[in-house]
Chain A
Amino acid sequence: MRIRKPWTEWDDEINFKSLPGAMGVFEIADEDRKTIYIGKASGKSPFGLRGELFLCFADTARLEDANWTHPKMGQVLPTIKEKGKYYRYEVNHMYYSRWIEILTRFNEDHGRLPPANLEDQEDIPKLGKYHWKTQESAMED
């Protein structure tokens, strides 16, 4: 199952602290609300979902103002930098297996991973199969 939440448009004026600092999973979409990236805020993520989403969207100057650091600061994936507009997330302590679940569902529905995941260096374990597609896959393609 994908994340069942409405998309939120990124707002550069968003308060950093209004996003959860917890572990979890998130999706980034383009202006057509098509998913371009499926990510996770892991047990190693500084600032949790808050940090991962800021890394995807916020400009570096804003981050420096916030006295904020991330090991991947300034290394936003090209597709996210170019097309990222919306996000949705789910706080989830079982973020790793949930991340794989969302990737597996997307991969089966579309026959490929989201474009920014293909650019990412993150190792993705072997994904399984459901042997069926969801209805939303037809709308997204």
Chain B
Amino acid sequence: MVDFKITDEQQLIIDNVRRLIRDEIRPLEEELDPDAFSLPESEKDRLVGMVKDMGLYKMDVPTEYGGPGVDLVTRTLVAEELSQHRAGLYSPAYGVFGSGPPGQLYNATEEQKEKYLWPVIRGEKSSFFGLSEPSGGSDPARAIKTRGVKDGDDWVINGGKLWNSGADTADFGIVYVRTDPSKGREGVSAFIVDTDTPGFRVERLVQVLRAHYTTELSFTDMRIPKENLLGEEGGGFALANEYLSMQRIPYSATGLGVAIYAHEMATDWAKQRETFGQPLANRQAIQWMLVDNEIDIRTGRWACLAAADLAQRGEPFRFESSMAKLVSTEGAGRVVDRSMQIFGGLGMSKDLPLERWYRELRIRRIGEGPSEVQRIVMARDLLNIRSGS
């Protein structure tokens, strides 16, 4: 049974984060380009200092790696707060809370941790995630065509990746490669790839609906030392799957944060704006939109917290994680759409953040697993169908 009561400690954390977003991030954002996704360095440094003083820097790093030890339920609650500003969906709090290393690196060898995991935790290196390819992303077990062939002490990798956010600024990436074409998911291995490796190229920055771009990569006879194989040979897909399921929960909650802010704005506007002698809020059509917003937000929140609670207790959470992603992203899209309708023409303009959220939330129904794939995952659990059949 899930207890949704927020503890005093959680409330204190939420209040601190909320204050920082409302009193610091939102006013700064007024001066930035409407599509900006980063803060000037001096402002970022100042805010990182404030977050460190709060004891909330790099919240997702476990205590044994020097993190503050914030549990997944609390991180989900915080994620909902972090995104409540214009750039919040894809740049929550502009990164001033810091982010941990890719989860797969916690399974790395000690040498790999020394070279990659610790520098990320210290903020000296950044990484990207290379799974999807032009041949597909939702079914990586079959879609991965990038080929790795063993040659002496190296692996020689040829192929490419698509939709790799941050690959142009990263120092290294976790790249999934087919090392045995005779096998399905067991033929995929994960490698740590330094971006200065000869043969590594960012072919182009790919422009999409959101304010930030993504990248297309190519690998040509790229030699990766065997020491950079992450986990077991053929164990890459299992590594990715576990990571993606866990990430899906706070990722889903950031979508909710945007919906909460949009709903808050729409509610205030409905009370102020008068048409035909009465506030919009007196009109049943508007009241129903606001109620539907509230229902979408609460349903999404419960789904996210239920998934986080299960994952935190070490119980199976794959179904709930997919449900959280599906319900919160689709619900948040509807909330922003209704809020724009309530604002009328102003809702379309770049004066308000709604148009940016509208564009970016559309991507959320596809990124990190489309809604249809989430339904496939849930159906497999419901019908007890083995994954990969």
> Within 8 Å CB of B241, what residues of A?
none
Chain A interface bracket (under 10, 10 to 19, 20 to 34, 35 or more): 20 to 34
Q: How far is the CA of A92 from the CA of B203 in the complex (A)?
A: 21
Dominant SS among interface residues on chain A: loop
Q: State how many angstroms separate the Cβ of A39 from the closest Cβ of chain B.
A: 12
Decide if B207 touches A98 in the complex (CB within 8 Å). Answer: yes
Q: Decide if B202 touches A94 in the complex (CB within 8 Å).
A: no
Contact with A along B175-219 (1 / 0, CB 8 A): 000000000000000000001100011111101111111000000
Whether B211 lies near A131 (C-beta < 8 A) is: no
Binding-face segment, B10-18, B30-38, B147-155, B367-375: B30-38
B278 within 8 A of A: no
Interface residues, chain B, with chain A CB atoms under 8 Å away: 32-38, 40, 166-169, 195-196, 200-205, 207-213, 350
A128 to B36, CA, bound (A): 16
Q: Known contacts A43-B35, A44-B33, A101-B207; is A130 also within 8 Å of B213 by CB?
A: no
Known: A100-B213, A128-B169, A128-B202. A95 touches B35 (CB 8 A): yes
The answer to whether A130 and B207 have CB atoms under 8 Å apart is: no
Alpha-carbon gap, A89 to B204, bound state (A): 20
Whether A43 and B207, one on each chain, are in contact in the complex, defined by CB atoms closer than 8 angstroms, is no
Interface residues as binary, A18-49 with B (CB distance below 8 Å gives 1, 0 otherwise): 00000000000000000000001011100000
B33 touches A42 (CB 8 A): yes
Q: Chain A residues near B38 (CB, 8 Å)? A: 123, 125-126
- Contact partner of A130 (CB less than 8 A), chosen from B36, B201, B209, is B201
**Bound: A113/B40 CA distance, A:** 18
CB closest residue in chain B, given A97: B213
Q: B202–A1 contact, CB under 8 A? A: no
Point out the residues of chain A lying under 8 angstroms from B203, CB to CB: 130
For A40, what are the chain B residues with a Cβ–Cβ distance below 8 Å? 33
Contact partner, B201, options A44, A92, A104, A131, Cβ 8 Å: A131
Name which residue of chain A comes closest to B43, CB basis: A123
B contact residues around A95 at 8 Å (CB): 35
Q: Is A72 in the interface zone, CB < 8 Å from B?
A: no
Any chain B CB within 8 A of the CB of A10? no
For residue A53, give the distance in angstroms from its CB to the closest CB of chain B. Answer: 18
Instruction: Using A97-B211, A101-B213, A128-B168 as known contacts, say yes or no to A1 and B350 having CB atoms under 8 A apart.
Output: no
For this complex, 21 residue pairs linking A to B, each with C-beta atoms less than 8 Å apart, are: A40-B33, A44-B33, A44-B34, A44-B350, A94-B207, A94-B208, A94-B213, A96-B35, A97-B208, A97-B210, A97-B211, A123-B38, A126-B169, A128-B166, A129-B168, A129-B195, A130-B168, A130-B203, A131-B200, A131-B202, A132-B201
